[in-house]
Amino acid sequence: GQQLNQSPQSMFIQEGEDVSMNCTSSSIFNTWLWYKQEPGEGPVLLIALYKAGELTSNGRLTAQFGITRKDSFLNISASIPSDVGIYFCAGQSNAGNMLTFGGGTRLMVKP
Amino acid sequence: GAVVSQHPSWVICKSGTSVKIECRSLDFQATTMFWYRQFPKQSLMLMATSNEGSKATYEQGVEKDKFLINHASLTLSTLTVTSAHPEDSSFYICSARQTGVRTGELFFGEGSRLTVL
């Protein structure tokens, strides 16, 4: 089946630093989504990407849909303590199909 | 974004009892809803796809008689964990896709934490 490899698994950074995480797939996806999950909560959608090469920003967050359709990255600039959480990438092969999730990146920010 | 709500947010029950979790799309209609299970420090694992007015589709390894899913309306899906045992303790999360909208975006509920004693 489809698999998503997300890295790094965890990051411990200083407030103000930039963060980068990525996901790679063994197969092509038509949609890439990035979610953030805080403890005891469901994932919240951050950014959705629909076209290969697409670069989309949401405040301090920027995500790109890889040109090969097999990868995506998420950058967070000037991190702040409230960025703490687990970030998941998710890929979808066709509209209507379920999502395949990456393993998550646990982000910890030191004030 | 669209709002999906789950209830209860947490539940503790005795082994052998059944527990029902509700998932509601509050401001949109959802023909399809998805149920996930998440263990501590792990990613979300799809359990089943809930289709309004028809039988749910279960992922391999998920017992349909143990995890009963009912999607009776366009805004409500329920997951019933029957004869719960401690190994069923987990974080259950539902998600929904807005009907008629061409988007891959899924919106998630807040999750329901089940603890079986």
SS3 state at A17: coil
Residue corresponding to tokens 């990407």: A49
Residues of chain B with pLDDT under 70: 1, 99-104
Whether B105 and A99 lie within 8 Å, measured CB to CB? no
Per-window interface: A 53-82 vs B, CB < 8 A:
none
Contacts of A16 (CB under 8 A, 6+ apart): A78, A79
Phi, psi of A17 (to 5 degrees): -75, 160
Question: For residue A25, what pLDDT is reported?
Answer: 94
Whether residue A7 has pLDDT greater than 80: yes
Residue-wise pLDDT tens digits, A20-47: 999 999 889 999 999 999 989 999 999 9
- Determine the Cα–Cα distance for residues A88 and A42; give it in Å rounded to an integer: 11
SS3 state at B2: coil
Residue corresponding to tokens 């359990």: B47
Question: For residue B85, what pLDDT is reported?
Answer: 96
User: Above pLDDT 70, what percent of chain A?
Assistant: 95
Question: For residue A98, what pLDDT is reported?
Answer: 76
Mean pLDDT taken over chain A: 92
Cα B116 to Cα A55, B13, B77, B82, distances in angstroms = 44, 5, 22, 11
* Whether B33 contacts chain A with CB within 8 A: no
Asked, as a colleague might, if the bond just before A111 is cis with ω within 30 of 0, I would say no
SS3 state at A22: strand
Q: Which residue out of B106, B107, B114 would a mutagenesis test of the A interface target, given it has the greatest number of A Cβ atoms within 10 Å?
A: B106
Please answer whether residues B104 and A31 qualify as being in contact, where contact means their C-beta atoms are separated by less than 8 angstroms: yes
Residue-wise pLDDT tens digits, A51-73: 999 999 999 999 999 999 999 99
- Determine the Cα–Cα distance for residues A13 and A105; give it in Å rounded to an integer: 13
Residue-wise pLDDT tens digits, A67-97: 999 999 999 999 999 999 999 999 988 756 6
Question: For residue A93, what pLDDT is reported?
Answer: 82
Q: Report the gap between the CA of A22 and the closest CA in chain B (Å).
A: 15
CA trace torsion A60, B43, B41, B23 (10° rounding): 90
Question: For residue A96, what pLDDT is reported?
Answer: 60
Question: For residue A67, what pLDDT is reported?
Answer: 95
Whether residue A1 has pLDDT greater than 70: no
Question: For residue B54, what pLDDT is reported?
Answer: 86
Go through A56-71 and write b for each residue having 16 or more CB atoms within 10 A of its CB, e for each that does not.
beeeebbbbbbeebbb
Q: Maximum Cα–Cα distance for chain B, whole Å?
A: 43
Question: For residue A95, what pLDDT is reported?
Answer: 58
Which amino acid, one-letter code, is at A15? E
Question: For residue B31, what pLDDT is reported?
Answer: 84
